[in-house]
Every structure is written in C-alpha cells, then in structure tokens.
Amino acid sequence: MTFKEHIQQGIPNILPKPKPFDFEINHAPKRKDILSFEEKKLALRNALRYFEPQHHAELIEEFSNELKMYGRIYMYRFRPDYQMYARPISEYPGKCEQAKAIMLMIQNNLDNAVAQHPHELITYGGNGAIFQNWAQYLLTMQYLSEMTDEQTLAMYSGHPMGLFPSHTEAPRVVVTNGMVIPNYSKPDDWEKFNALGVSQYGQMTAGSYMYIGPQGIVHGTTITVLNGFRKIKRSPEGGLFVTSGLGGMSGAQPKAGNIAGCITVCAEVNAKITHIRHSQGWVNEVIENLDDLVKRVVLAKANKEIVSIAYLGNVVHVWERFQEENIHIDLGSDQTSLHNPWAGGYYPADTSFEEANEMMATNPELFKVKVQETLRRHTAAINKHTANGTYFFDYGNAFLLEASRAGADVMAENHIDFRYPSYVQDIMGPMCFDYGFGPFRWVCASGKPEDLQKTDAIACQVLEEMAKTAPSEIQQQIQDNIRWIKGAQENKLVVGSQARILYADAEGRIKIAEAFNQAIAKGEIGTVILGRDHHDVSGTDSPYRETSNIYDGSRFTADMAIQNVIGDSFRGATWVSIHNGGGVGWGEVINGGFGMVLDGTKEASRRLESMLFWDVNNGIARRNWARNEGAIFAIKRAMEKQPLLKVTIPNEVDDKLF
C-alpha cells in the first residue's frame, strides 16, 4: 500500500505480524504494577474493544504480556511500518486542508528525532503522550483523512471518540487530556487510569500536537538565562550556569547557554539521550569523570569560553564537587522531570541508571525513599552555593515542590513560600508574561527550508518595524527577539518540522501572522500552521510556574485556562486542547493550547486577528486584576488600540489603612 492508503485504512482487518522490540530506540521506563486482577481484566477489555472479536483470542495474550512487561498496553504490533516524520502537507490524504495540517503535526510529534519515547507515543517529559496506544493513532489518522470542513473530531485523552457534525468556523479537533475529577488527580491515580487505558498525561504541547522539538524550550531558556545574568548584573561571558536534564525539553539548556554566551554544565544520567543530544549538536562536549569536569570548567572560566558540557552522571555530585573545589556557579537551576518523580523523572544519586530503573519497577517504595534522600542532598548542596552568591531559580519542573515534600531545606523564613523563586515568578512573569510576551510559534507545512527562511525574514521585519515606535517598557523584549530570529538559521534549531518560535505580544503575533497570510496569498510561501507553547501569558494556570507571580490569592484557580480555550474555540482556532497536568505534575496545573492554519484567505485573516487578540489579552486582563504593574500598563495600552475592549482596572489600597 501507498502511504495515503495506509492512513486511510485505519486499524487493519488483517492483523500485522508482531514486531520485535527495538533496543536502538529510547524507551519509556517500565511503569509500576498498580492494577488489581479484576482491573487488569478491565484494561484488556478496554484494549480489545478496538478490534473485531475474531482477533481477540490472538491479541489478548500479547496485550496481557505487554501489561505485565511494561505496565501499559502500547499495542506495538500495530506501529506503522512507514517512517514517522512530518511530510509536506500535500502528501497527506484528505478532504480538508486543516485536517491534513493536524496529521502533519501529529507525525512530527512522533518523529524519532523529536519524540523522547516514540514507540510508546511519548513526546517529552517522561510521560507526555499523544496517544495511549497505536490503535488510537491509526484510528485518529483515518478519521482525519475522512474529515470535511463541517465536522469536528473529539479526542478524549488520546482516544478519537468520533467525527461530529459542526460547521466551517468550528475547530476541526477538540482535545482533552487527563481531565479527571479533581479528587482523583494524585500521581497513583494517573498510573491507574493510564494503565486502564482511559486517561493520559498530555504534558503541554505533546498532547496538543504542537511540539516542535527542543527549539521551543531553547528560546525560553535563552531568554531566561539572559535575564538571569541581567538580574545579577553581570555579563554571561565567562559566567557558569549549572543545571540537569537532557530530555525532550531539558535537552535545550546547553544550546540556550551557548546562544546566551555562557559556560553551561548540564548533568544527565541517561547515556543514550546524552549521546543523542551530543550527536544532534545540542551540547558541545560529553564528560563522564568529575575530575575531568572540574579541570574543563576551570579552563573554560579562565578563557571566558562559550561552551556547553554534558556531565554523564548525577547532578548532585556536580553541585557537591564544585563546592569542594570552590568553583563559583553564577546561575543554577534544574530541569529534570520532577513532575514525574516516581516514574523516571528524577534519579537517585549513587545508584546506576540501570539499577534505578529496576528498583523503580520492582521496589517503588525504596525508589521513592532514595529519590527523596537525593533531593535533600541536592538542596543542601545548592544552599551552600547560594550562600556564596549563586542565583538559583526553579525552572518550573516542581523541583522546589518535591524537595519540600521530601523534607529538604527549601522553605523561606515565613514557612509558607520557597526560599528560591520560580523563574516565572522572578524573571518571565514580570518581564514577559505581564506585558503579553510569550512563545508564539509556526510550522511551514510545505516542509521547505526556504519557506522557513522567508518567514524568519518576515517576522524580523515586523519586529524591527514595531521597535521604531514601541514604548520603553517593551523595547528589551522586542530587541531580544530580533537578536534571536537573526541567529535562528545559524544556530540550526530545526529538529523535525520546519518550525520557528519567538516571544511576541498580541500586536506582534497578529502582525506577523497577517504578514504570513499575505505572503501565502501571493504564492510566496506555502501553508503555515500557527501555535504556541501552553507556557504562555494566558493558556496555563499553574501556581508554582506560569501564575507564580499572581499574588491576589487566585493563583490556585483555573478560570483563565478554561476561559482561554473556550474563547479560542469560537474565535477561529483550527484545533484546541485543554489538559490536566503538564510540566509541574498531574493535578498541579490546568493548561490549554491551540493550532491555527493560515491558507492565505480573507477568512484566515479575520480569524487570526480575533483569536490571537483574545488568546493573549485574556491573560493580561487576569494579571492586571491581580495588580501586576506590567499587566496594568499592557491592558491599558490594549484598550487604547481596540475600542471594543473594556477591562476592569483594580484600585490600589493604601497600606496605612491596615
């Protein structure tokens, strides 16, 4: 069969032969054995309902073995034989250009070069899934190939519920992930529901089909590192940034350090992913010995090098050894997947990677004890460095939250707040999000590098024009992004689809998108798919990350994220998503995203202006109401530009009255 025929077939009537386990691919760790005997029977019933009854006898033993071996039923047999990557949009079958664009983005998220655990359908973060099993993938792609402009596909945690009649202005796909009842959002609840095949953890852009490889987080980390050095009033030149994690998101850190212009040491316990990042050019050097690492860093500091070094080992040993050697760390953070601490997100010190994985599956209680011991050690070492002037920030991965739960010394003197800020609380919130600047991204659906080059030039031209008249409050943000987009090609940031990201406010996003749409109409470039990271001004309610600089008591509410996705739905988004969990953990955050296809039409122009304006200003309005100074400035400016916008401005209370 041709590629198109494979897609249109969906779940095959004739069973494909079982596939051998591919040991060359980075696989998800074995999940804990959490289901009772009756629940395992239910998990098998749930898996077999995708297949005709005549196949059940052959599949039930196989699926039972998968559940026993891996803790999940992935249906490896049904993984397609064709190569998984984002093809040009013209190569996808279908009746609807928007549906073809979504198929492109799904396959990009499962590309072996993009996804963390591609055969388990996990894009990043250890458990950020697009689907729970391969039957869901096959059925979803089939539905999209059949979809018309007057249908909407409903996605329930990876399961395609079906195509429903709608209309041309409705979203083509509505995605929900992990939206369980609040009282059932504990980590073991996720393990259970995921093992049963009824819910999944979509992370942020994984389950929204909007992940573009590490580039997205490279940009955010670059902005964070630049502003971190500004905060401590020193140049990145010769400065040392120490962190950990080289996975799907965290792997961006060394590249970001290079772009910012500092020395980066990033520890990682997984040898396979470390060497993948090195081969991809995301990190300059790999060192496996602490003595060698110390000598290399001392030399780099003396020569004021711009270099990124991956240390293959536990980051705790780096913090401890650098303290012993009196090596000053300027910036410190952590980007391990601590939202997922008991299932491979964070590894204990003094235990090999292989031993830890075995312990995780066979003795999860001991694994938890070891992880919490390591968190206490990790924190103690950081505290010694910060006492000597290191600026440490939580990178929104639940490091401080899990360290506090482990009994580590991370609390402030008031015993309420953490002693270290979140990077959003201290840097991204007040400097970017309050002013409406966040991660706007696009994908060139033609797959042509020349289209990406043209869109880079268009975006740069728009930003440079905006900078001529922009107020002083947002000049730094615009200039940082002009610098970024000018260096984007030379930094070779593309992994998978021809995609780009930059930080822009509503005005910038609308102007850039409109310029793209006009270029498409003139035939200068092909179709463009717009999106953003959920890690943005308006899409996410996360009290320890995106909304950590909200101080009116509302940071634990999720009205903003829900309003965001509802508003995007009827203002023209091509697809929308809303998730429980993402970045900081299941039950710790609600986040929403969107995708929008630009095809050069007047309808696309109308939709992009309506939707992008709301998508940003919904969040600014909420931040304004929380009395955030930058957001008050930004929403007043938005009201001056758009007379139909009328937002309540908070009144300040004189402290003396108390």
Specify the CATH number for the domain of residue 590. 3.40.1770.10
- Say which range, 75-79, 274-278, 370-374, has the weakest mean pLDDT: 274-278
Distance CA 389, CA 600 (A): 53
Q: Annotation-wise, does 126 bind a ligand? A: yes
Whether residue 34 has pLDDT greater than 80: yes
Contact predicate 508/254, CB 8 Å: no
Whether residue 559 has pLDDT greater than 80: yes
User: Is 451 within the bounds of a domain?
Assistant: yes
Q: What is the CATH number of the domain that holds 343?
A: 3.40.50.10730
> What residues does 439 pair with on adjacent strands?
503
pLDDT attached to residue 420: 92
Mean pLDDT of the chain: 95
Distance CA 633, CA 623 (A): 11
**Per-residue pLDDT tens for 193-230?**
999 999 999 999 999 999 998 788 888 889 899 999 99
> What residues does 286 pair with on adjacent strands?
310
Contact predicate 310/266, CB 8 Å: yes
DSSP conformational letter for 17: P
* pLDDT grade for 415, boundaries at 50, 70 and 90: confident
**Per-residue pLDDT tens for 217-267?**
888 889 899 999 999 999 999 999 999 999 866 778 999 999 999 999 999
> What residues does 504 pair with on adjacent strands?
438
**Per-residue pLDDT tens for 423-474?**
888 888 999 999 999 999 999 999 999 999 999 999 999 999 999 999 999 9
Question: Do 469 and 618 belong to one domain?
Answer: yes
> Average pLDDT in the 107-130 region?
93
Segment holding 255, helix H or strand E = helix 253-260
Q: Quick one: 80 exposed, middle or buried, by C-beta within 10 A (0-12, 13-18, 19+)?
A: middle
User: Is 45 within the bounds of a domain?
Assistant: yes
pLDDT attached to residue 248: 67
Question: Do 552 and 455 belong to one domain?
Answer: yes
- Percent of the chain whose pLDDT exceeds 90: 84
Contact predicate 433/624, CB 8 Å: no
Contact predicate 550/626, CB 8 Å: yes
Give the strands of the sheet with 331-332, arranged side by side.
285-287, 307-312, 263-268, 240-244, 331-332, 391-392
**Per-residue pLDDT tens for 35-49?**
999 999 999 999 999
**Among candidate residues 159, 162, 174, the one with its CA nearest the CA of residue 129:** 159
> What residues does 499 pair with on adjacent strands?
443
Distance CA 436, CA 505 (A): 5
User: Is 417 within the bounds of a domain?
Assistant: no
Angle at which helices 475-487 and 449-467 cross, to 10° = 160
Q: Annotation-wise, does 288 bind a ligand? A: no
Give the CB-side neighbour count of residue 2, counting CA atoms within 13 A. Answer: 6
Question: Do 582 and 624 belong to one domain?
Answer: yes
Question: Do 364 and 451 belong to one domain?
Answer: no
Q: Quick one: 314 exposed, middle or buried, by C-beta within 10 A (0-12, 13-18, 19+)?
A: buried
Last residue of a domain, one of 161, 196, 231: 196
Question: Do 336 and 479 belong to one domain?
Answer: no
Question: Do 246 and 385 belong to one domain?
Answer: yes
Distance CA 364, CA 641 (A): 56
pLDDT attached to residue 133: 98
The count of structural domains within the chain is: 3
User: Is 415 within the bounds of a domain?
Assistant: no
> Average pLDDT in the 111-127 region?
92
Count of other CB atoms within 10 angstroms of residue 1? 11
Last residue of a domain, one of 137, 161, 196: 196
Distance CA 65, CA 45 (A): 14
Q: Cα–Cα distances in Å, from 182 out to 40, 186, 207, 558?
A: 24, 9, 20, 12
User: Is 422 within the bounds of a domain?
Assistant: no
Burial 286-311 (b: 16+ CB within 10 A, else e): bbeebeebbebbeebbeeebbbbbbb
Question: Do 397 and 445 belong to one domain?
Answer: no
Whether residue 594 has pLDDT greater than 90: yes
- What the block records as the tokens of 550 is 């909200």
Contact predicate 222/256, CB 8 Å: yes
Q: Quick one: 415 exposed, middle or buried, by C-beta within 10 A (0-12, 13-18, 19+)?
A: exposed
Residue range of the domain that includes 638 = 435-657
**Per-residue pLDDT tens for 329-364?**
999 999 898 878 888 889 999 999 999 999 998 999
How far, rounded to the nearest angstrom, does the alpha carbon of residue 400 sit from its chain's CA centroid? 19
Distance CA 79, CA 133 (A): 9
Question: Do 50 and 169 belong to one domain?
Answer: yes
Query: Apex CA 518: angle with CA 436 and CA 526, to 5°?
Result: 100
**Per-residue pLDDT tens for 170-184?**
999 999 999 999 999
Q: Which residue has the tokens 């793209």?
A: 516
pLDDT attached to residue 585: 83
Question: Do 226 and 367 belong to one domain?
Answer: yes
User: Is 647 within the bounds of a domain?
Assistant: yes
Residue type, 77: R
First to last CA, the chain: 76
Question: Do 235 and 373 belong to one domain?
Answer: yes
Q: Which residue has the tokens 């003197």?
A: 413
Q: Annotation-wise, does 583 bind a ligand? A: yes
- What the block records as the tokens of 136 is 């869901």
User: Is 203 within the bounds of a domain?
Assistant: no
Length of the chain in residues, anyone?
A: 658
Question: Do 161 and 125 belong to one domain?
Answer: yes
Burial 320-354 (b: 16+ CB within 10 A, else e): bbbbeeebebbbbbbbbbbbbbbbbbbbbbebebe
- What the block records as the tokens of 458 is 């268009």
> Average pLDDT in the 499-515 region?
97
Q: Cα–Cα distances in Å, from 271 out to 53, 288, 310, 508?
A: 43, 10, 10, 41
- What the block records as the tokens of 485 is 């987009």
Q: Annotation-wise, does 268 bind a ligand? A: yes
User: Is 208 within the bounds of a domain?
Assistant: no
Q: Cα–Cα distances in Å, from 10 out to 146, 198, 326, 636?
A: 11, 20, 60, 51
- What the block records as the tokens of 159 is 């399961």
- What the block records as the tokens of 583 is 């970045």
> Average pLDDT in the 116-139 region?
95
* pLDDT grade for 517, boundaries at 50, 70 and 90: very high
Question: Do 399 and 445 belong to one domain?
Answer: no
Distance CA 289, CA 545 (A): 34
> Average pLDDT in the 546-550 region?
93
Distance CA 306, CA 303 (A): 9
* pLDDT grade for 648, boundaries at 50, 70 and 90: very high
> Average pLDDT in the 280-295 region?
95
pLDDT attached to residue 416: 80
